[in-house]
Homo-oligomer: A and B are copies of this chain.
Amino acid sequence: MPDTPRVTAAVLIIGNEILSGRTQDSNLAYLAKTLNEYGIQVVHARVVPDIEADIVEALNALRAKHDYVFTTGGIGPTHDDITADCVAAAFGVELVISEPIAELIRRRPSPPEVMEARMRMARIPRGGGLVDNPLGPPGFYIDNVYVLAGIPRVMQQMVESLRGKLRGGAPVRSRSVTAHLSEGQIARRLGEIQQHFAHIDLGSYPFFREERYGTTLVMRGTDAAALDRMLDQVKQMIIELGGEPTDLLSG
């Protein structure tokens, strides 16, 4: 059984608009899927408001506990964009102007007042590096904390620019199968199968579609051969309980 060390990440979503329900976050799901391709598993996420004390506390708790922290939101030019300030405070360093970012910002001419506001986006914590962004000013990183935009399209480009640049372990693969059986019907047998595969996570997700109840079973782990063996056992169980296993796309 392969035992590659797991590389973990936490996601920190910064923004009052997520906590008010005004904006539906989609960045967490995107980060989880894409980082898994890089061999990094998102194991925790937090959503905090645009309040410095809350952001700094979350940053320090998460960066101590996980290999990586990815933040989204709060890196624009307005007064409520305080992520850079908070990251600097969390690391106890000052903000400095990144000359490459400042140069990019200056290329688009603006009246002095507007330029001054846009220049806020050139501030990064001393000792930090840049995260490329083909759609605008770069994001940045310092140590294990990566600071990304909140706008999904921009955030996605930034994550794409990190492909191949982050230390990862083995990506988690999944196998899924669906049956029109209730969770109650499969619960005992499913628990028994789970006990035989300690390194695979077996999740059970009930649904109600086209007027029928059913359950989707999802196996996740890094060992493809073990996943296939477990999938066979789960399908066998479904047949023995009178159901019909339906394959889903595997990852």
Contact = CB atoms under 8 A, between A and B. Distances in A.
Interface string A138-163: 00000000000001010000000000
A29 B16 CA distance: 11
Interface stretch (A92-100, A126-134, A198-206, A230-238): A198-206
A43 B49 contact: yes
Nearest to A187: B117
A44 B43 contact: no
A218 interface: yes
B44 A44 contact: no
Q: Is the interface of A mostly helix, strand, loop or mixed?
A: mixed
- When A and B form their complex, which 8 residue pairs have the shortest distance between CB atoms, in order from nearest? A117-B187, A21-B32, A21-B33, A79-B191, A45-B47, A21-B29, A78-B204, A118-B184
28 contacts: A15-B203, A16-B201, A16-B220, A17-B205, A17-B218, A19-B45, A20-B32, A20-B33, A21-B31, A22-B174, A23-B29, A25-B25, A25-B28, A43-B49, A44-B48, A44-B54, A45-B46, A77-B183, A77-B187, A78-B187, A79-B204, A80-B203, A81-B204, A110-B184, A117-B185, A118-B187, A120-B187, A151-B206
